[in-house]
Amino acid sequence: MDKTFQGVNVNLPLLAQSIDFYLQGKGYHTQNFVSGNSAVVQAKKTGLLRTIFGANRAFTVRMTGGQGYLDVNIGLADWIVGTSVAEDVITYLVLTPLAVIEGVEELWNLEIERQVMSEIERLIGTGQVTMQGYPNQPYQQNPYQQPYQYNNPYNNPYQQPNQGYTYQRNCPSCSSPLPPNARFCPSCGYKLY
pLDDT in tens, 39-76: 999 988 776 555 555 567 788 999 998 888 999 998 88
Closest CA to 14 of 137, 166, 150, 124: 124
Domain residue spans of the chain: 2-125, 166-193
pLDDT in tens, 1-49: 889 998 888 889 999 999 999 999 988 889 988 888 899 999 887 765 5
pLDDT at res. 87: 53
d(CA 117, CA 73): 9
Answer with the residue of higher pLDDT: 122 or 103.
122
pLDDT at res. 183: 78
d(CA 142, CA 171): 45
The proportion of the chain whose per-residue pLDDT surpasses 70, expressed as a percent, equals 62
pLDDT in tens, 90-114: 555 555 555 444 444 455 567 788 8
Side-chain half-sphere exposure of 115, counting CA atoms within 13 A: 12
